[in-house]
Structure 1
Amino acid sequence: MLLIDRPIFHRDGRRFAHLISDLSLDELHDGARRLGLDRSFHRDHYDIPEEYVGEVLAAGVHQVDPREIVHALRRAGLRASRLQR
């Protein structure tokens, strides 16, 4: 299942949410392609600008608390360390 948190992470004067899969990177990349995402992948998630979160939710992605993002990645064995690129 694809999950997204609230857009609370700041970068370059904008707020972003994180899009993940709780199953596999293949599911994540397939979902990102369906959503029209391309260059925003970072080790284990896609960064979603705040202005696109509504569109992602309308496409059926489930919104969760930001803490749940890390827990879901760990449960799925997908949490990438900061050393991985």
Structure 2
Amino acid sequence: MILIDPPLWPSRGRDWSHLVSDTSFDELHAFAAGLGLSRRAFERDHYDVPSELYEAAVTQGAHAVGCQELLTRLTRAGLRRRKAARPTR
């Protein structure tokens, strides 16, 4: 299932959502391509989606969920990829 959280994440003068799959990365990449997102928008385990595409994502079948629900479902599916720890000096 494709999930999207609300566009609450500000960056580069815009607000962003996170788009994930709780099934597979193949499902996620196919859905993102259908929205017209570049593969460059993929970061470890999610796509960053600008707020102006939020409604289109929901219309095309993404399930709108809260941020915590999105993270919980992604983690339960075993698809969560955390950032590598920075080395300490």
Structure 1 and Structure 2 fold alike (TM over 0.5)? yes
Cα deviation, residue 71, structure 1: 0.4
Q: Structure 2: 5+ residue runs without aligned partners? A: none
Q: Normalized against structure 1, the TM-score is what? A: 0.92
Question: Is 1:49 the equivalent of 2:66?
Answer: no
Moved more, 14-23 or 33-42: 33-42
The offset of 1:13, in angstroms, is 1.6
Aligned pairs, how many? 84
- The 4+ residue runs of structure 1 with deviation greater than 3 A are none
Provide the alpha-carbon RMSD of the alignment.
Answer: 1.2
Task: Tell whether 2:32 aligns with 1:24.
Answer: no
What TM-score, normalized by structure 2, do the two folds share? 0.89
Instruction: Report the identity percentage.
Output: 46
Which deviations, in whole Å up to 9, do the C-alpha atoms of 1:28-80 show, x marking residues without a partner? 11111122111210000000001110111111111000111110111110111
Instruction: State which structure, 1 or 2, has the greater radius of gyration over its C-alpha atoms.
Output: 2
